[in-house]
Chains A and B, each alone.
Chain A
Amino acid sequence: MTLAFKRRSLLAATFAAATLPAGAAQAASDTLTFIEGSDFDTLDPAISRTRSAEILMTLMFQRLVRWKDTSLSGIEGDLAASWSTSADGLRWTFRLKPGVRFHDGSAVDAEAVKFNFDRLRDPRLGSPNRSLFTVITDIQVADAETITLTSGAPVAGMLEILCESSASISSPAAVQRFGRNYGRNPVGSGPYKFEEWTPGERSVLAGASPSARFRRIIYRPVPEAEARVIELESGNADIATSIPPEATARVRANPRLKLVVIPSSFQVFFELNHKRPPFDNPRLCRAINHAIDQQAIVDRILGGFGSVPDAPVAPGVQSYQAQAPYRFDPDFAKREFAAAFPGGFNETLVMWTCSGRYLKDQQVAEAVQGYLNAIGLKTEFRVWEWASYQQTLYRRQQGGTGFGSSAAHMWVLGTSIPTADWRLSRRLVTGQSANLGGYSNPRIDALLNGARTELDPDRRMEAYHEANRILWAEEPPNLFLYNQKQIIATQRGIDNFDAFAFEVPLLNEVTKA
């Protein structure tokens, strides 16, 4: 018995000893361990499309300009010390801060900036971010610290484009040296420099400037949500994101952990097909928004981790202004349908949803089906796997399903794009690439197209506010479902955690006791 006992404690001690080095390293206050659900494929900002990569790129790279704060209240210089616009709004001239160097020692000068934008716009790179930058038609370098970007028409959102993480400035020397392997050997000029990346395992950044708060930031992808919580519970990580609502009670009950809930720019909605009845009638687009109880969806399905939409964009999106939420009034919705279709609307509403792409998407869609049946609409429901869903929704050919020629009346989608122009124009201006519902409204077209070239920031924002008002109260393009929230769990000693609404945290602002 004693022997057995000793053996067991010996075993435990060995296990403990084996785990100690890792645990001890992470307990150090100069190392921050951050856990996310997904890994990335490349750390080359020009071609990356993943948000998880953006988290690290934000630490490693600088851009010409950047968002001042997480509420997107304004834009400040990053590499640029100052900038000016020509009177016709076609030329943007930036003066770079002198003496900035990439982590490989080469200078961050105007030529380096030009190299990056030329690379992005080069069709041979085949960057998925290219079209954002093709508005730039010419780039002139006046001297080492002065660069001028020219566009064919005024681009009011130029600075916003330059805030995108794809506009990060890489070291030209490193891009040329590593070629196809640059995505594994990124070199920027941010507060942290790239140290190592083992795909699927971990990435390590090392502090490279006095503004770096940590000696090391470790990023680990842990796909299983439950495992992320256990990593925190066992003290192996400082911060874990995308905590499932059902695990939040456990985090709250644990005295060593705490829960941080931050609004997300993610809004999830049923996009309506405006090319066929009943949603070719704006009155019924409004009516259907009265048919569902969004508060109940947020409370019962999302476990309270969401908010009821009060605008066609979520809080945290540029141009957001709260408006009166749609009141839940199924009788009103029913009367509106009866008024529009005196004999009753006899077609079957075809509803599509993806599953697992957005928080509880399928469950929410099913609940909506229940609400629609309750006001007397016949419905048919189809659940899609994401890749086929996307392909079907965007299919342009006649007889296909995109752009209002869809076989469905409504389909679930979500978006987290934080800038007003990109978020609204692509989905709502007549004939635009992501206008899947065939929405067409001359007032909205005029407002959004006008805002694109309106160089006065106040007048531009006014146009967006007016568009938002129409899109909410008069001719809603969607059946609005919920705004997501970011659920993050941290060790108790972690403070100052903040994140952009598009779910990119500012890890260098965090403090660790």
Chain B
Amino acid sequence: MLDYAIYRIAVLLPTLLAVSLAVFLVLHLVPGDPARNAAGPDAEEEDIALIREHYGLDQPLWKQYGTYLVRLSQGDLGESFRSRRPVLDEIMRRLPATMELAGFAMLLAVLVGVGMGVAASMKPNSWVDDAIGALSAFGISVPVFFLGLLLMLLFAARLQWLPPSGRGSWANLVLPVVTLGLPYVATFARVTRSTMLEVLSEDYIRTARAKGLMRRTVIWRHALINAAIPLVTLLGVYFGRLLGGAVIVETIFAWPGLGRYMVDGIIQRDLQVVQGCILFFATAIVVVNLVVDLLYSVLDPRIARG
């Protein structure tokens, strides 16, 4: 188990190095002059040249990457062209908002999704199952921006129960979290249902039932634990997608998170910001997947041994 963990952590560094190189190259090959964007459309050539020099954008590419790596090793993600502030500071400032959003959306997906999946698997083909099936089909297929505006129109403009956008009280959280989480609620419900149906037909479940265990114990202790592995896998895979979805949700609901910061950075060609954000997201996804892999071996010790 320990060896496995150490091995996995050791692989982390080259992975992130490769990510940093890829991000760097892609961003520098994308058309658009960052210095001109920083200076604005009405700027003089002289001012633009000054900015180019200030940020080393006139240096050869390999040199820029070298400087970038050296700084990175010191925990410095560079400075935003527009705000002239350290990118890491700016990321840290916005991180809580994104974590709050993604965390609660994930929690919603797991609790409600798994609950719905279990409920549906209890009585397959009943009206409960059908209703949950319909709801999850809706959740998977409705585009996030549409759902977001729909919820906003209904709960904020029409009923006026919830604030339409922004961050502040917990009421502000409801709409963005539901918007972001709903597709994953649906996915989790579907996966839970099918895995549960499979597990429930296994021999050991029949044995457990035959022993006279309570239904609840059979479902939660015996069946769900065994159905958990594909769910944990999903958790790892979807964490990345959830962060991607957060970019859209943050824009719709004026949520002051990292996703919006990155999108603004892309539009403005604020290289250091985009670079920093992508590297940050990549690190987060790699780390979450590491944790998920390690969790497997807790859930199923055969994985670490094999």
Contacts and interface: CB of A to CB of B under 8 A. Distances in A.
Nearest to A391: B33
A426 B268 CA distance: 23
Contacts of A126: 50-51, 53-54
B155 to A, nearest CB: 8
A184 interface: yes
A391 B251 CA distance: 27
Interface in A194-243: 198-202, 220-224, 226-227, 230-231, 233-236
A230 B153 CA distance: 7
Given A183-B85, A234-B157, A201 B166 contact: yes
A231 B82 contact: no
A388 B256 contact: no
A434 interface: yes
A227 B44 CA distance: 36
Contact of B50 (A23, A44, A130, A392): A130
A126 B170 CA distance: 42
A490 to B, nearest CB: 17
Contact of A12 (B83, B161, B256): B161
B44 A39 contact: no
Given A234-B157, A387-B37, A223 B254 contact: yes
Contacts of A387: 30-33, 37, 267-269
Interface string B135-167: 000000000000001001100110111111111
Interface string A130-149: 11001000000000000000
B255 interface: yes
Nearest to A44: B84
A180 B84 contact: yes
Contact of B254 (A16, A47, A222, A235): A222
B156 A234 contact: yes
B33 A128 contact: no
B297 to A, nearest CB: 39
A22 interface: yes
Contacts of B165: 222, 224, 227, 230-231
Contacts of B253: 224, 227
A134 B152 CA distance: 50
Interface residues of B, number: 63
B5 interface: no
Q: Which residue among A44, A134, A233 has the maximum number of chain B CB atoms within 10 Å of its CB?
A: A233
Nearest to B159: A12
Contacts, number: 163
Given A126-B54, A127-B47, A21 B252 contact: no
Nearest to B34: A387
Contact of A131 (B36, B44, B261): B44
B157 A49 contact: no
A223 B167 CA distance: 14
A284 B156 CA distance: 54
Contacts of B202: none
B171 interface: yes
B164 A15 contact: no
A181 B84 CA distance: 9
Contacts of A18: 169-171
Contact of A415 (B38, B42, B84): B42
Given A15-B171, A49-B82, A221-B254, A226 B51 contact: no
Interface string B40-65: 11111111101101100000000000
Contacts of A221: 254
A129 interface: yes
B257 interface: yes
Nearest to B256: A200
A184 B90 CA distance: 11
A19 B161 contact: yes
A123 interface: yes
A201 B164 contact: no
Contact of A227 (B46, B82, B252, B260): B252
A234 B251 contact: no
A417 interface: yes
Given A15-B161, A223-B254, A227-B254, A128 B32 contact: no
Nearest to A198: B256
Contact of A230 (B46, B157, B255): B157
A381 interface: no
Question: Which are the 5 A-B pairs with shortest beta-carbon distances?
Answer: A387-B32, A200-B256, A388-B31, A41-B83, A41-B82
10 contacts: A49-B43, A129-B47, A130-B50, A181-B85, A199-B90, A221-B254, A224-B251, A234-B163, A236-B163, A388-B31
